[in-house]
Amino acid sequence: MTLGDILVPEKQVDSSYIIPHDEVKKWRYCKGAKHLTRIKKNGIVYSYDEGSMSFPDPLDLPARTIITAEGGATPSRFKHVVQMTDGRYRRLMPVELERINAFLDNHTKLGDIIGTKRAFFMGNALEIEVVTRLGHSLVRAIETP
The continuous run of DSSP H or E covering 97 comes out as helix 94-100
Q: Does the pLDDT value for residue 145 go beyond 80?
A: no
Q: What is the mean pLDDT of residues 71-97?
A: 96
Alpha-carbon span 45 to 77, nearest angstrom: 24
Nearest to 4 by CA among 105, 121, 84, 119: 84
Question: What are the residue boundaries of the structural domains of the chain, listed by start?
Answer: 3-143
Q: Is the pLDDT of residue 32 over 90?
A: yes
pLDDT tens, 36-71?
999 999 999 999 999 999 999 999 999 999 999 999
Cα dihedral 84→90→96→100 (10° resolution): 90
Is 7's pLDDT higher than 80?
A: yes
Q: For residue 34, list its beta bridge partners.
A: 50
Residue 25's alpha-carbon distances to 20, 66, 87, in angstroms, are: 10, 23, 14
pLDDT at 86: 97
**pLDDT value of position 80:** 97
Q: pLDDT tens digits, residue range 94-144?
A: 999 999 999 999 999 988 888 899 999 999 988 888 888 999 999 999 988
For the segment 5-26, the average pLDDT, to the nearest whole number, is: 97
Q: Rounded to two decimals, what is the model's pTM?
A: 0.85
As a residue count, the chain comes to 145
CATH node for 3-143: 3.90.120.10
Strand partners, 82: 90
Predicted confidence at residue 68, as pLDDT, reads: 93
Nearest 5°: the CA angle 22, 94, 87 is 35
